[in-house]
Structure 1
Amino acid sequence: MSLPAPPVLRSEVQALIFDCDGTLADTFAAHYRTFREALVPYKVEMTAAFYAARLGLSRRQLLAALTEETGMPVDDEDLRVRTPAMFLGHAAAIRAIPFSENLVRLHHGRLKLAVASAAQRPMVMASLGAIGLTDFFESIVTIEDTGVGKPAPDLFLKAATNLRVAPGLCHVFEDSDQGIEAAHRAGMTVTDIRPYYQSDPAEW
């Protein structure tokens, strides 16, 4: 199957910034299985529909929404500590997203490339390693670098700072409404990759 044509970038763009989960890598199955496993001691169930409706949220934001939905509190710090190792156990489910992988390989060496993800660094590095793209990026920014998830612009602004490129000269690739809002708030143009790729919750 042929890949969709890459988007036409503004001539002044100097850097591309990619979200990780759902943009570079289909990690939804791995993350969903990790959360379900981590929530067992709390006797709280997270459905695929609940998770799919909140893609792009940080772990803290997701758990807050789950507590609001179920009335059952979940200790975010507990999951922060336990989930990275669990995620590695589900890494075999991670797949590259062809549209974005093609863009990375096409522009590597031509433009500066970065990742800006609200996930924890061990998970992001595991995901990039699973799809063989770790070494393509000059900067990899994760939630540990800013402490603030999307739709705040901090992750994207940190990536631009690391690349030494003005925000207005960066173009973002995202797969969530929160991420797209964050890119706009950072003063960057953005491409929504969802028309080019959809993960199937039935396979999670």
Structure 2
Amino acid sequence: MSRYDQYDALIFDLDGTLLDSMPGHYAAWQKTAADFGFEVSESWYHTRGGSPTILTATTLVEQLHLDIEPSVLAAHKMQCFAEVMEAHLEMLPFTEVARRYAGKKPMAVGTGTLTDIATRMLKKAELLHLFDVVVGADQVSAHKPSPDTFVRCAELLSVTPSKCLVFEDAVFGFDAAAAAGMDVIDVRVTDVGLD
């Protein structure tokens, strides 16, 4: 019996959990920064793992005292990402869990990426058909580390939150899962465990 069998539903983060799209996001932030006349470092970018684009944009505006609306900065970054994302979609090991349980358990993707972009990424990687639901940043008012994304996934899957298992790679996501009352697997330090 797999350790996942005890759960009624599985919820996966996208970036860094199912797909390694982080290089694409970083490239998009570099392009955005250059276009607006500031710089971002890779070390800074790695502190933002799991943070929705709008929150990262807001943080940049505040920390760098930029005279830009965060929503404008975020929209520019997402446009840049849309242009490069297909070159940055390496599948990660936990996609095998999704493949194993597709059609056997309700499954969702809960991500800080906008729904349409997340859907395009999953479709390009030929993973979209595995999932019943995709909940993106535009579907909730409070983002990770708030529990709203994962709670919305559970609602759409018609499963009690405590019966859901979340797969995540970032502290924002771990905190969101805990706040939702869900167990969480840290995909960075855990083996897939399907044998």
Structure 1-normalised TM-score? Answer: 0.86
Task: Give the structure 1 partner of residue 3 of structure 2.
Answer: 8
Contact 1:16 1:113 in 2 (8 A): yes
| CA distance in 2 between partners of 1:84 and 1:50 (Å) | 18
In structure 2, stretches of 5+ residues that fail to align are none
| CA distance in 2 between partners of 1:100 and 1:24 (Å) | 6
**Alignment CA distance shift 1:81-1:71 (3 Å):** closer
**What's the % identity of the aligned pairs?**
27
| CA distance in 2 between partners of 1:7 and 1:80 (Å) | 40
Task: Give the structure 1 partner of residue 43 of structure 2.
Answer: 49
Shift of 1:69: 3.7
- State the AA in 1 paired with 2:4: L
Q: List per-residue Cα deviations over 1:4-23 (Å, max 9, x = no partner).
A: xx972262x11000011111
**Alignment CA distance shift 1:7-1:25 (3 Å):** farther
Structure 2 residue corresponding to 1:148, chosen from 138, 142, 145: 142
Task: Give the structure 2 partner of residue 168 of structure 1.
Answer: 162
Structure 1 residue corresponding to 2:98, chosen from 83, 100, 104: 104
Shift of 1:61: 1.9
The alignment yields a C-alpha RMSD, in angstroms, of 1.9
Count of aligned pairs between the two proteins: 190
Q: List per-residue Cα deviations over 1:9-67 (Å, max 9, x = no partner).
A: 262x1100001111111010111111111222321111111001221111122123323
Shift of 1:102: 0.5
Structure 2-normalised TM-score? Answer: 0.90
| CA distance in 1 between partners of 2:67 and 2:114 (Å) | 21
2:82 is the alignment partner of 1:88: yes
Contact 2:17 2:187 in 1 (8 A): yes
| CA distance in 2 between partners of 1:8 and 1:157 (Å) | 22
- State the AA in 2 paired with 1:185: A
Contact 2:61 2:70 in 1 (8 A): no
**Alignment CA distance shift 1:18-1:158 (3 Å):** same
| CA distance in 2 between partners of 1:163 and 1:62 (Å) | 29
Worse overlay, 57-66 or 185-194: 57-66
Shift of 1:196: 5.0
Equivalent residue runs for 1:1-204 within 5 Å: 8-9=3-4, 11=6, 13-91=7-85, 92-97=87-92, 99-196=93-190
In structure 1, stretches of 5+ residues that fail to align are 1-5, 198-204
SS of residue paired to 1:39? helix
